[in-house]
Amino acid sequence: MIHKSTRLAAFFCAAVLLAGLFLCPALAEEYRTLREGDSGQDVIRLKTRMYELGYFKSLNFSDTYNQTTVERVKQLQKKNGLKQDGIATPELQALIFSDACVFQAPTPKPAATPKPQTAAVQTEGASWPEVDEQGFLAEGAEPFVYENAAEGLWAYISPNIHIEIRRYEDTSIKLMWFETSIALNERVKLRSLRVSEKKSGTFRQPADILAKYENVVLAFSDDFYGYRTRYEGKHEGIIIRDGQIVAESTVKASSKKFPPLEILALFEDGSMKTFESDEKTAREYLDMGVTDTFAFGPILVQNGEIRADIYTYDKTRREPRTAIGMIAPRQYLVLTAVGRRTNSKGASFQWLAEKMLEKGAVEALNLDGGNTCSLIFMNKLLNRPENVQKKDIRYVSGLIGVIEEE
């Protein structure tokens, strides 16, 4: 039996929709029909409003109208007594942005699911979940988390994300490093995690930055452009974050400045491409479909080959370093070299480039290193001793992250 209040709500919602159709002929001009595969600011506005109504649990969502969005729209349609097709028509959006839309009552949070017990389990014997041909779990499956510091293996696998981190050590050259492989589907992209949207020169510890965001699975060093903004006052590099131009002052490609402010551009389709410091303007990058640029360098791999000028750098200069490379669109490799320790002296640019090429990267850039070098998995800083004091962790202006988005 349908409850009386439910029938009344359905009747009222239908009345609102009819009013939108017959009393507001300009409605179709205010909203476009949104369905799976669409993207844009109007998708973000829709999700934000649905978050306010209780149909999304957090504000960490992409600008894509994905399968999750379809399911949440169906929930809203069901709650409001409407046909459940998952399509946000102009009429439905008019209802959603009105005061007449029925809220989604909050549901109790389920008890935390214990993480898989990984102690004393070898890699070969670990009970890893079945994944599809792209390496993801089936839709709706709970994320699989594997953490084993003694073994030097960490993993996070979900319907959207596949991350594996492996720690290696070569005692013959006194080097310890981490190789982080990242695979993302179309619902998730690499995110720029910033201290402040307005004050790019502000600095915080990595943990403080992560506290601003929910569901961060992985985070690592970016190009530290905030330091150049605050202390150098010029030549930050061409910086774009989330489709917005942050800085445009750069140096000539022939400059001997370090870092050379060479660019790694991230495109909307998840691909990456390296460029000289002054090869493109910020506006040209945006016109090409670039969402983010990272300015540091040197370029390690370009068009599937090691950059020849890498071998002009001092091979004996070994430091803690972070580098990112693209294997294929939405498939990335992050190298994190540990340095300034007795058992690990750090890596040279030549080592990073050769390792990137060995692992299949076709584009790769050296990012910020030194004492700001950070690799964080599930809120744990992996490339520092567990007992490192908070005061010994350098402040940064941002990170690159992977967030489990709705």
Q: What is the model's pLDDT at position 4?
A: 41
Least confident of 129-138, 182-191, 194-203, 235-244: 194-203
Q: How confident is the model at residue 377 (pLDDT cuts 50, 70, 90)?
A: very high
**Mean pLDDT confidence for 223-239:** 84
pTM beyond 0.75: the answer is no
Which domains does the chain possess? 4-96 (1.10.101.10), 144-403 (no CATH)
If pLDDT is split at 50, 70 and 90, which confidence band does 389 have?
Answer: low
pLDDT bin (cut points 50, 70, 90) of residue 49 is confident
pLDDT (0 to 100) of residue 104: 78
Residue that wins the pLDDT comparison between 308 and 124: 308
How many other β-carbons are positioned within 10 Å of the β-carbon of residue 3?
A: 8
Q: What is the pLDDT of residues 184-195, one digit of tens each?
A: 999 999 999 988
* Under 8 Å between Cβ of 178 and 149: no
What per-residue string of b and e applies to 204-232 under the rule 16 or more CB within 10 Å gives b? bbbeebbeebeebbbbbbbbbbbbbbeee
In sign, the C-alpha dihedral spanning 73, 79, 85, 90 is negative
Whether 123 has a pLDDT exceeding 90, the answer reads no
State residue 371's pLDDT score: 86
Range list of β-strands (E), 159-207: 161-170, 175-184, 191-194
d(CA 216, CA 405) in angstroms, rounded, equals: 9
Tokens representing 221?
A: 């060093």
Q: Tokens in use for 352?
A: 């990073």
- pLDDT single digits (tens) 328-340: 999 999 999 999 9
CA atoms within 13 A on the CB side of 233: 0
Q: What does the DSSP 8-state code read for residue 339?
A: -
Nearest Cα residue to 145 out of 154, 133, 132, 135: 154
